[in-house]
């Protein structure tokens, strides 16, 4: 017997609710025949909300019982529901994965093979550029979050606004292999302060903070990953200075 669900979702001339489309897709994948009931005017939406005493759309009904919105439907179908206020390592894991793939691509382009010793250095340099790019999207939000734990920024606020440019610039110079006398000391300086700051905040003061490493709206917890980022930069800078 075909399972049937009724879906009420906003489909306005200038706006189609994305959560309604996602709910429809979920229902269809779960084997439901969807009785799609688009709400096409503001009056229709307001009347529906008042009738069913709900504040948002979409709304899903199965066997005459209201299941709720998109997140409620995910829970009903036994699928994980993302916590908007929770913490996650997913953004930084995705960034490092892309950096690794880009490093392999550069290696193939330059050396006609997938991996050489320099691939590690290219990976770190690319990761620095990508991390800096995340911060540069909203420097003010990054600097505000950065002030929660960075020791130098707490003493000199403008440092939080300078940091993204230093990290991105140093990464680009390291990737190009030029001006090592400038890029390596700069990376060593910011990464050294960062490592000490993270270690103090997390392992000495035992504070539970979010890391600004992937921008000011980050939900990545401050901790081992943040410390690893700084240690990688320190290692890259030391190696390049030694190679000079």
Which one of 14, 43, 76 terminates a domain? 76
Q: What is the pLDDT along the chain (244 residues), one digit of tens a residue?
A: 678 999 999 999 999 999 999 999 999 999 999 999 999 999 999 999 999 999 999 999 998 899 999 999 999 999 887 666 667 888 889 999 999 999 999 999 999 999 998 999 999 999 999 999 999 999 999 999 999 999 999 999 999 999 999 999 999 999 999 999 999 999 999 999 999 999 999 999 999 888 888 887 778 888 888 898 899 999 999 988 888 7
Residue 84: inside a domain: no
Residue 85: inside a domain: no
Two tokens at 123? 């990976």
**Domain membership of residue 190 as a residue range:** 90-243
Query: What is the widest separation between alpha-carbon atoms in the chain?
Result: 74
Which one of 54, 76, 98 terminates a domain? 76
CA dist 57 and 40 (Å) reads 12
Residue 83: inside a domain: no
How remote is the C-alpha of 221 from its chain's centroid? 12
Q: Are residues 70 and 151 both part of a single domain?
A: no
CA atoms within 13 A on the CB side of 160: 24
Best CA proximity match to 236, nearest among 111, 78, 70, 125: 125
The CATH number of residue 42's host domain is 3.40.30.10
Which one of 52, 76, 100 terminates a domain? 76
Residue 190: inside a domain: yes
Q: Are residues 63 and 149 both part of a single domain?
A: no
Q: Are residues 115 and 220 both part of a single domain?
A: yes
Two tokens at 151? 């020791």
Count up the domains in the chain and report the number. Answer: 2
CA dist 226 and 145 (Å) reads 14
Q: Are residues 7 and 120 both part of a single domain?
A: no
Q: Are residues 168 and 71 both part of a single domain?
A: no
Neighbours of 211 (CB within 10 A): 27
Two tokens at 135? 């911060």
Residue 109: inside a domain: yes
């Amino acid at each position: 017997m075909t399972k049937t669900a009724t879906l009420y979702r906003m489909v306005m001339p200038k706006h189609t609710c994305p959560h309604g489309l996602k709910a429809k897709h979920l229902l269809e994948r779960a084997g439901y025949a969807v009785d799609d009931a688009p709400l096409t005017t503001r009056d229709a939406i307001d009347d529906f909300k008042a009738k069913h005493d709900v504040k948002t759309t979409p709304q899903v009904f199965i066997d005459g019982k209201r299941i709720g919105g998109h997140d409620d439907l995910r829970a009903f179908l036994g699928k994980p529901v993302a916590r908007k206020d929770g913490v996650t390592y997913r953004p930084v894991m995705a960034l490092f994965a892309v950096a690794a793939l880009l490093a392999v691509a550069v290696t193939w382009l330059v050396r006609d093979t997938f991996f050489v010793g320099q691939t590690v250095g290219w990976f770190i340099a690319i990761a620095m550029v990508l991390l800096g790019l995340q911060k540069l999207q909203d420097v003010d939000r990054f600097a505000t979050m950065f002030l929660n734990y960075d020791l130098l920024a707490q003493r000199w606020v403008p440092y939080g606004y300078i940091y993204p440019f230093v990290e991105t610039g140093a990464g680009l110079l390291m990737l190009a292999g030029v001006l090592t006398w400038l890029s390596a000391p700069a990376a060593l300086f910011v990464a050294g302060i960062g490592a000490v700051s993270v270690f103090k905040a997390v392992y000495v003061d035992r504070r539970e903070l979010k890391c600004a490493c992937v921008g000011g709206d980050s939900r990545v917890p401050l901790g081992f990953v943040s410390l690893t980022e700084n240690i990688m930069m320190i290692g890259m800078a030391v190696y390049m200075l030694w190679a000079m």
